[in-house]
Structures are given as structure tokens and as C-alpha cells.
């Protein structure tokens, strides 16, 4: 079955430093989504990427979808303490509606 790997598992940064998490799928994806889960909270949708090579930005967050539609990345510029949480990628294949979630990257931002 489809597997989605995500690295790193944990990342500690000083406030103001950049952060990147990477996602790799064992199969070609139809689309990839990114979610953020605050400590004690639930996953919250951030963005969806559909096209090969697509790049989207949300303020300090930059999302990329690989040319082969098998990998993706999330980059945060100049992290803030409000960025703390676990970031998950999640992909779908074909016409399926279910998401396969990566293992997540837990981001800690030190003030």
C-alpha cells in the first residue's frame, strides 16, 4: 500500500531561524495536503498542492510539490513561537478520497 515518509521527526530551532520538513511517497500522488496540529489540538488544513512542480506561499510558509509528484516540502522562514506544532503531509492517489498521512515533524521554537 501507499506509504508516506516524513523527515525529520523532530526539529528544534531558535526563533527567527528557518525550518523545512520533507515528505516522500512510495507512489505517485494525485495531490498532497499539509496540516498543522498544535500541542493538544487537532490537525488543521493548511494547503493542497495538485500540479507537478507547484509552489504555493502563505506568508512565511512555502509549499512545494515535486516534479514527479512523489515528494513535497514545507519551508517556514523566520520561525515564530506561534509556529510550534506538528506538521503533517498527507497524500491521495488516483481518485481515492482517503488521505495517507506522513508521520509528522514536531517543531519546537525556542524563544
Partner 1 sequence: DAGVIQSPRHEVTEMGQEVTLRCKPISGHDYLFWYRQTMMRGLELLIYFNNNVPIDDSGMPEDRFSAKMPNASFSTLKIQPSEPRDSAVYFCASSSLIGGGNEQFFGPGTRLTVL
Distance between CA atoms of residues 59 and 103, nearest Å: 25
- Window contacting partner 1 (CB under 8 A); options: 10-18, 42-50, 58-66, 73-81: 42-50
> Residue 87, interface with partner 1 (CB under 8 A)?
no
Q: By CB under 8 A, tell whether 91 contacts partner 1.
A: no
Considering the rule CB under 8 A, would residue 104 count as an interface residue with partner 1?
yes
Element containing residue 86 per DSSP (H, E): strand 85-92
Considering only residues 20 to 39 of the shown chain, the ones binding partner 1 according to CB under 8 A are 31, 33
Least CB distance to partner 1 at residue 87 (A): 12
Q: Please say which residue, 48 or 77, places its beta carbon nearer to partner 1.
A: 48
The string of DSSP codes covering 34-56 is EEEE-TTS--EEEEEE-STT-EE
Distance between CA 72 and CA 64 in Å, rounded? Answer: 5
Residue 41 to residue 31: CA distance in whole angstroms = 25
Chain contacts with partner 1 (rule: CB under 8 A): 31, 33, 41-45, 48, 88, 92, 97-104
Amino acid at each position: 500500500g501507499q506509504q508516506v515518509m516524513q523527515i525529520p521527526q523532530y526539529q528544534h530551532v531558535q526563533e527567527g531561524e528557518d525550518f523545512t520538513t520533507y515528505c516522500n511517497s512510495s507512489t505517485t500522488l494525485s495531490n498532497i495536503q499539509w496540516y498543522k496540529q498544535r500541542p493538544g489540538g487537532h490537525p488543521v488544513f493548511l494547503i493542497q498542492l495538485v500540479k507537478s512542480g507547484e509552489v504555493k506561499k502563505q506568508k512565511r510558509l512555502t509549499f512545494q510539490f515535486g516534479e514527479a509528484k512523489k515528494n513535497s516540502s514545507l519551508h517556514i522562514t523566520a520561525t515564530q513561537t506561534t509556529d510550534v506544532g506538528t506538521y503533517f503531509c498527507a497524500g491521495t492517489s488516483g481518485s481515492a478520497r482517503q488521505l495517507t498521512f506522513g508521520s509528522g515533524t514536531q517543531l519546537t521554537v525556542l524563544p
